[in-house]
Structure 1
Amino acid sequence: MLHVFLVTFPFFALIAAGYAAARRRVLPLDAIPGLNIFVLYFALPCMLYRFGAGTPIGQLLDGSVALIWGLAALLLVGAVVMLTRNERIGWNDASFGALVAAFPNTGFMGVPLLATIVGAQAAGPVIITITFDMVITSSLCIALSRLDGADEHGASKAMRQALRGVFVNPMPWAILLGALASALQFRLPGPIDRTVAMLADAASPAALFTIGAVLARSALMASGKRRAGTLRDVLPVVAVKLVVHPLLVLALGWLAIALGLPLSPTALVVLVLVAALPSASNVSMLAERFGADNGRIARIILWTTVAAFFSFPLAVGWMR
């Protein structure tokens, strides 16, 4: 277990460094969007492209992995919306609470972390989970959020906005191009390949530092706007994200294997560890854009990130 902590500590230390830098204003809050742009539009797409191009196309089209992850995400979204929606929490807040419970921080944190722990075999399942969450889970929750007092076209309009966001997000395109390169056995010319490799190598530290900065900015901005949510509005979602989500994925994986679906043990380990990651930091930006209680969402993301420092190594040790 100590070995696992030694592996995961630098990742969480970089997040803590970014949080402290933004919280103490050593890193100006106005500079955080620039960090986000570098990670989202340059470093992470290069890393995802290299992962996709270096992964056999069969692993990128693993139907069993997609089925298990997708079913777990849909069950989780439905359960969280049903259990949290009440007189204080409408469709909007309940839907983004469900999204923050079902959408792990795979792109910014999971890709570099799981590549270090599991190795190259993690690439296929990780890419599948990122694609599903960005296209299906996010779009579904955004559409559900519009049911709260929306007109008859609210949900469909939100779905179109969500899909438009997917199309302008460079990460799905990087995954698609990487998969195409894998299928065609295509390699970039030497100088271009080295440039892509340099940007990909920068993705891990930059993304982790940016997570901390984004969490600090979200907490600072949300504190002055809306209530940050009571403990009973926050802690159950934190528990769902870090405990229920990985256990649900594990149970569905065992069920799939028992039914004879072709799911490798390594793929199941990767899926469970992805589910054990803290909530995705970009959900806070989505919640702010669609008028949800961003204070509550920011607290859930922050608490899952802090708690995952202890819970994620336990999950790694248990699955190994």
Structure 2
Amino acid sequence: MSSVINVILPIFALILIGYVCRKTNRLGPHAASEINRFVVWLALPALLFSVTANSSWESLWQPGFLLAFGGGSLAVFILTLLYRLKRSAPLADANIDGLSAAYANTGYVGIPLCILVFGEGGLEPALIATLVVVCGLFAIAVVGIEVALQGEKSLGAAVRKVSLALLKNPLVISPVLGALWAAGGQPLPQALAELLRLLGAATTPCALVSLGLFLAHEQRGDSEGSLALTGMKLIIQPLITWYVAFQLLELPSLWAHAALLLSALPTGTGPYMLAEYYQRTATRVSRAVLYSTLGSLVTLSLCLYWLGY
């Protein structure tokens, strides 16, 4: 339990810092949106470009792990999306809810936790999981939201508008450009790599402070369903991943254990950033981030105990 607390406690501290800064008026009423815009337009694109530009297909191609972790994430995303659509939720909001149920906090919690538990060998599955979440799942949700927000009745016109919107979206184009750079086989220039590192390092603290600022405002939006999203993230996703990794594929111990542990992580701030960026109701997703982070103290500890660590 203490190992999990040591990793998760700084998350609560950053959220609390944002909350206190807003309540004491150290940061103004528009600070949450402005800090979030910095993350979406500068910090997160720099991180996505840097990660993909420094990756290779040889290190990333772990089909069993990808199927276990990525398949579990995608299954939860689709199940939540379909359920929300059945309850007459707008398509854009349903995509954000689906992402809230499936988006693991692999960067801020997953990487240090895997290194703590598995040693340096845990870095590779944590990095692959991060790419799956921020470049795969995140991109799918962005495409779904863009499709939902286009009002064209003509299919051709709608495709053109969505394509143009995606080309302008920094969260989609940055990993694509990074992958193209990696395909060229050239390392990043040292100055550029350092610039990207500095910007990328600001992603998580700024996103969490922004979340704290948002929570300090009077919550007027609908938060119903946040506990259900938390349950999908902390219970259903690990169960699906466990079945695929341990029962269906019987992966090697490191990859199976890492897949299960990473699937049991709390919801990251990505869905909240999207809700703010697209000006959708962010109350439900912000609550899901908060509740799942708190609940993961129990679920991650149970996973570590069951795995024998």
TM-score range, shorter chain: 0.7 to 0.9
Partners in 2 of 1:106 and 1:100 — Cα distance?
13
In the other structure, the counterpart of 2:288 is 300
Q: 1:290 to 1:42 in 2, by over 3 A?
A: closer
Q: How many residues align?
A: 301
Partners in 1 of 2:113 and 2:175 — Cα distance?
17
> Are 2:133 and 1:129 aligned?
yes
Partners in 2 of 1:292 and 1:44 — Cα distance?
20
- Give the drift of 1:175: 3.5
> Are 2:143 and 1:139 aligned?
yes
- Give yes or no for contact 2:22–2:213 (8 Å, CA) kept in 1: yes
In the other structure, the counterpart of 1:101 is 101
- Give the drift of 1:49: 4.2
Partners in 2 of 1:192 and 1:105 — Cα distance?
26
Q: 1:306 to 1:185 in 2, by over 3 A?
A: same
> Are 2:76 and 1:76 aligned?
yes
- Identity over aligned residues, as a percent? 23
Partners in 2 of 1:130 and 1:194 — Cα distance?
21
In the other structure, the counterpart of 2:223 is 228
| Cα deviation code 1:87-132 (max 9, x no counterpart) | 6x5354555433321223446x357545754643122332133221
- Give yes or no for contact 2:77–2:102 (8 Å, CA) kept in 1: yes
Task: Name stretches of at least 5 consecutive residues in structure 2 with no aligned partner.
Answer: none
- Residue 239 of structure 1, aligned match among 231, 234, 237: 231
- Please report the TM-score for the alignment, with normalisation by the length of structure 2: 0.73
> Are 2:237 and 1:249 aligned?
no
- Residue 204 of structure 2, aligned match among 188, 208, 218: 208
- Give the drift of 1:245: 1.2
Is the partner of 2:267 in helix, strand or coil?
coil
Partners in 2 of 1:19 and 1:186 — Cα distance?
43
In the other structure, the counterpart of 1:274 is 262
- Give the drift of 1:55: 3.9
Is the partner of 2:188 in helix, strand or coil?
coil
In the other structure, the counterpart of 1:17 is 17
Partners in 1 of 2:180 and 2:268 — Cα distance?
27
Q: Which amino acid aligns with 1:238?
A: T
- Please report the TM-score for the alignment, with normalisation by the length of structure 1: 0.71
Is the partner of 1:19 in helix, strand or coil?
helix
Q: 1:210 to 1:317 in 2, by over 3 A?
A: farther
Is the partner of 1:187 in helix, strand or coil?
coil
- Give yes or no for contact 2:114–2:258 (8 Å, CA) kept in 1: no
